[in-house]
């Protein structure tokens, strides 16, 4: 029987009602009392790392989760992390970079309603996650939610209230779970490395600029003094405005002169970017050697950049690592 470790971090699944609204107070030990049936297919221990609303998640929390797993990695067959849904996709992506090529499953789950409510998705999500973590064919970092198994770098919360809150962006589900049955769409553990790689450094100094029509380029210029990298969410397949004042050109030139990183992505959820299509993207990308996220999610692009800058500042190594496929994060590269 597989030995699984449950790591509690808070979130809606662990919430109770208070005068000020829902607040995570239920411990990981208490959470397990709501799914007694798991004892039929696995042994479980639990630890509480922290108990916070996922709105308050920061990179230091990702490092704490990584360290907790690293310290106990040899003692367990799989790991399940209970987490709030609002930043779950960021955490799943971050852990995909901090714990790479794990032959043991590291599963992140949560709920849209607290586990102590009568009508909740929490008990099903937790049961599914523990079942998947106990599956001998499971590996690497993934989200398990609403019966779907999503690669850790491909998840995105697209619904604020519905139980099917998460989608897998530009990539198929790893598997689906129907009661006690796990149906794999991608069954490739035999091709995975046998040893994990743990990382302990992140550079949280990564900013995001979301373009809107007429947004002044001075904001991008302002960010150059405060961030080591910026991700620009552009329109459509990607590009930067070529307004008459040339502000965006000058701002990007300044970022480049400072040796800082500009990464282009798209505001459109599905199908990814391709800056080579239009003049507003092709010319500026070519002149300044901008990085492009292509089919990556925003969450993956953000956390991968933090991970890369935690390892190196060499421009060629940054470019190489950014386009290296890790846990299925980027498939299409021009």
Q: What positions carry a catalytic annotation?
A: 12
> 302: Cβ–Cβ under 8 A, 6 or more apart, which residues?
90, 93, 206, 208, 231
Cβ–Cβ < 8 Å for 93, 153: yes
> 184: Cβ–Cβ under 8 A, 6 or more apart, which residues?
137, 174, 175
Cβ–Cβ < 8 Å for 22, 54: no
3-class secondary-structure state, position 175 = strand
Cβ–Cβ < 8 Å for 111, 12: yes
3-class secondary-structure state, position 275 = coil
Helices 247-257 and 279-288, interaxial angle, to 10°? Answer: 20
Cβ–Cβ < 8 Å for 83, 10: yes
Cβ–Cβ < 8 Å for 87, 57: yes
């Amino acid at each position: 029987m597989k030995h699984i470790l449950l790591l509690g971090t808070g979130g809606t699944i662990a919430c109770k009602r208070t005068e000020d609204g829902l607040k995570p107070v239920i411990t990981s030990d208490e959470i397990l009392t709501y799914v007694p049936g798991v004892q039929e297919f696995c042994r479980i221990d639990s630890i509480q790392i922290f108990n916070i609303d996922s709105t308050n998640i920061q990179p230091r929390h990702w490092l704490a989760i990584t360290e907790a797993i690293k310290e106990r990695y040899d003692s367990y067959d799989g790991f399940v992390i209970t987490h709030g849904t609002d930043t779950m996709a960021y955490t799943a992506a971050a852990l995909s970079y901090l714990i790479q090529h794990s032959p043991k499953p590291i599963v992140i789950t949560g709920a849209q309603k607290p586990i102590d409510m009568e009508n909740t998705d929490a008990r099903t999500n937790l049961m599914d996650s523990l079942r998947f973590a106990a599956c001998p064919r499971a590996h690497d970092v993934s989200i398990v939610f609403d019966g779907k198994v999503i690669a850790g770098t491909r998840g995105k919360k697209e619904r604020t209230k519905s139980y099917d809150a998460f989608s897998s962006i530009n990539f198929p589900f790893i598997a689906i779970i129907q009661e006690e049955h796990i149906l794999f769409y991608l069954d490739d553990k035999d091709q995975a490395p046998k040893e994990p790689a743990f990382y302990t450094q992140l550079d949280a100094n990564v900013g995001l600029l979301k373009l809107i029509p007429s947004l002044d380029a001075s904001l991008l210029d302002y960010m150059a003094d405060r961030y080591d990298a910026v991700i620009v969410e552009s329109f459509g397949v990607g590009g930067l405005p070529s307004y008459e004042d040339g502000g965006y050109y000058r701002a990007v030139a300044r970022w480049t002169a400072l040796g800082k990183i500009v990464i282009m992505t798209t505001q459109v959820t599905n199908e990814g970017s391709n800056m080579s299509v239009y003049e507003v993207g092709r010319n500026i990308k070519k002149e300044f050697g901008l990085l492009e996220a292509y089919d990556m999610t925003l969450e993956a692009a953000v956390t991968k950049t933090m991970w890369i800058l935690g390892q190196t500042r060499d421009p060629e190594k940054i470019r190489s690592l950014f386009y290296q496929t890790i846990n299925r994060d980027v498939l299409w590269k021009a």
